[in-house]
Amino acid sequence: MNHTEILQKLKAGEITDEQAEKMLAELQADAVKEATKKKVTIKVSRKGAIQLDGLRRFPITLYRDEWGAGTANPRSAFCTLPVVLNKM
């Protein structure tokens, strides 16, 4: 339920003022939680290392030699990134 639906129910008399205030407060709390969620970011260095931020407390860095023979190029590493993330 969104803000508009809550206000429509309040206007129609389906819910009380207290119920509407509680529901709006819950919606606002959920919005704050969503806004503060960590997002995963990927950075590629000039030397070919790939850094993943947002998965753990500290960033995860995978160096060029850790990617293996077929994925030493950072561009091709993005193709195998889902496989690496699923193994963690």
User: pLDDT tens across 18-45, in order?
Assistant: 999 999 999 988 888 877 777 788 888 8
Tell me the CA distances in angstroms from 84 to 15, 40, 71, one per residue in order: 50, 14, 12
Domain of residue 7: give its range: 3-36
Is 32 found in the same domain as 50? no
Is 79 found in the same domain as 46? yes
Q: What average pLDDT does range 51-75 have in this prediction?
A: 73
What's the whole-number average pLDDT of the chain? 77
pLDDT band at 82 (very low <50, low <70, confident <90, very high): low
Is 73 found in the same domain as 55? yes
Instruction: Determine the pLDDT at residue 78.
Output: 55
Selected residue with higher pLDDT from 67 and 3: 3
- How many angstroms separate the CA atoms of 40 and 42, rounded? 7
pLDDT(88) > 50: no
Is 63 found in the same domain as 50? yes
Domain count, the chain: 2
Is 80 found in the same domain as 50? yes
